Amino acid sequence: METTVDETRIVELIVRTLRALGEEGVVDLDGVEPTATTDLFGAEGLLDSIGLVSLVVAVEEALDDELGIRVGLADDRALSQRHSPYRTVSSLAGYAAGLAPAG
Amino acid sequence: MERPVTLVTGSRKGLGRAVAEHYLAAGHHVVGCSRKPADWEHERYRHVLADVGVEADVGNLLGEVRRTHGRLDHLVANAGVASMNHSLLTPAATVERLLQTNVVGTFVACREAAKLMRKRGFGRIVTMSTVAVPLRLEGEAAYVASKAAVVGLTQVLAREFAGFGITVNAIGPTPVATDLIAGVPAEAIDRLVARQAVPRLGTAADVINVVDFLLRPESGFVTGQCIYLGGV
């Protein structure tokens, strides 16, 4: 889907949010410095289900506050290994960008 | 001490309005919603036009709470619709309408509220079921199905949200004299009331008393319950 949202900015926003949650002790980053390719959820993922919920909700808020993008990131494929939009930082960014209203 | 922030859905009239006014009198900031504008106001009350059956409306409603107050302590998910009719005369569209408002509306309101509550590690959610569920009230198959679903929803959400310090409980009121039962024949209400241990119509105060208990900070060990009124 073509959008006017810069996906790179969303990646940065997610990385920042993840780091903040780590500092607040909401999620345990286990010393990992998050990047676009960081595995979020799944076999190699950084987050447990509560950590994932916390990240997704915090990203929704940050998208609204910082980029004026109001989207719900709830998705039925959350627990799918192959199709989950929550697999990595960049897949979550791509998913959010795809939901953001174009123009 | 900061004033608590309380969200009451379906607050334009009836029980929702009584609950909203009760918590305003108790000093809370109250945000309410309904599909139509409210014809009452208060300096600490904000009314948002929202249909709880529309996901985007609920998102906007909670966005409003977040931007205005930055927090949410209590949700009373009161908005609901009723229909009384023999199941053989009930169109599927009526069933869908009841499920959309009573089940989907409650689900989405709880989900969005919990997102805001979890940040402070505290929240109290009260949903609305009905004594018609345990009474298996004939003539209300679709309504009872929707309100039984609310109990199931409440029990599961209680477990999912417990880690965030959020409790989720349901209240099952008896009939209360509001618009919700205005179209129900008096004999049907009389028959229902006769099946209660305390055979009288409920009042808003009866319901608010239980809401008060469930919203108390001290009630953090009470979750996933449905409290029926009238001794049903």
Given this model, what pLDDT does residue B56 score?
A: 93
Its CATH class, for the domain covering A7-99, is mainly alpha
User: CATH no. for residue B197?
Assistant: 3.40.50.720
How many beta-carbon pairs under 8 angstroms link A with B? Answer: 14
- Whole-number mean pLDDT of chain B? 95
pLDDT band at A103 (very low <50, low <70, confident <90, very high): low
Distance from CA of B197 to the nearest CA of A (A): 43
Given this model, what pLDDT does residue A72 score?
A: 86
pLDDT band at B92 (very low <50, low <70, confident <90, very high): very high
Mean pLDDT throughout B183-193?
84
Given this model, what pLDDT does residue A42 score?
A: 84
Distance from CA of A57 to the nearest CA of B (A): 6
- Those residues with Cβ within 8 angstroms of residue B38's Cβ, 6 or more apart along the chain or in another chain: B11, B12, B17, B32, B47
Given this model, what pLDDT does residue A1 score?
A: 47
pLDDT one-digit tens code per residue, A22-81? 998 888 888 889 999 999 998 888 998 889 989 999 999 999 989 988 888 888 877 676
**Interaxial angle between packed helices B105-117 and A49-67, expressed in degrees from 0 to 180 and rounded to the nearest 10:** 90
Which value, to the nearest 10 degrees, does the dihedral of the CA atoms of residues B92, B95, B96, B99 take? -160
Chain A residues within 8 A of B111 when measuring between CB atoms: 74
- 3-state secondary structure labels for all residues of chain B: CCCCEEEEECCCCHHHHHHHHHHHHCCCEEEEEECCCCCCCCCCEEEEECCCCCHHHHHHHHHHHHHHHCCCCEEEECCCCCCCCCHHHCCHHHHHHHHHHHHHHHHHHHHHHHHHHHHHCCEEEEEECCCCCCCCCCCCHHHHHHHHHHHHHHHHHHHHHHHHCEEEEEEECCCECCHHHCCCCHHHHHHHHHCCCCCCCECHHHHHHHHHHHHCHHHCCCCCCEEECCCC
Given this model, what pLDDT does residue A9 score?
A: 94
pLDDT band at A4 (very low <50, low <70, confident <90, very high): low
In the numeric block, the tokens 């989207």 are attached to A71
Of A17-31, B106-120, B146-160, the one with minimum mean pLDDT is A17-31
Q: What is the DSSP letter of A91?
A: H
How far apart CA B125 and CA B184 sit, in angstroms, is 29
Mean pLDDT throughout B186-199?
90
Q: Is B143 an annotated catalytic residue? A: yes
Residue spans per domain, chain A: 7-99
ipTM, 2 dp: 0.76
Q: Does the distance separating the beta carbons of B163 and A50 come in below 8 Å?
A: yes
Q: Tell me which of B62, B64, B119 to substitute to probe the interface with A (most A C-beta atoms closer than 10 Å).
A: B119
Question: How many domains is chain B built from?
Answer: 1
Q: Does the distance separating the beta carbons of B111 and A74 come in below 8 Å?
A: yes
Given this model, what pLDDT does residue B99 score?
A: 98
Nearest by CB to residue A70, choosing from B55, B63, B115, is: B63
pLDDT one-digit tens code per residue, B117-147? 998 999 999 999 999 999 999 889 999 999 9
Q: Does the distance separating the beta carbons of B66 and A61 come in below 8 Å?
A: yes
Q: What's the token pair of residue B151? A: 């109990």
Cα Rg of chain A (Å, integer):
13
Of all residues in chain B, the one with the smallest CA distance to A71 is: B59
Chain A residues within 8 A of B66 when measuring between CB atoms: 61
Given this model, what pLDDT does residue A81 score?
A: 63
Given this model, what pLDDT does residue A84 score?
A: 86
Tell me how long chain A is.
103
Distance of CA A82 to the CA centre of its chain: 16
Whose CA is closest to B180, among B140, B224, B122, B141?
A: B140
CB under 8 A, 24+ apart: contacts of B155-159 = B155/B224, B155/B226, B157/B110, B157/B114, B157/B125, B158/B223, B158/B224, B158/B225, B159/B224
Q: What's the token pair of residue A15? A: 């990385």
Which residue range forms the structural domain that includes residue B179? 5-228
Could you tell me if B48 and B41 are in contact, meaning their C-beta atoms sit under 8 angstroms apart?
no
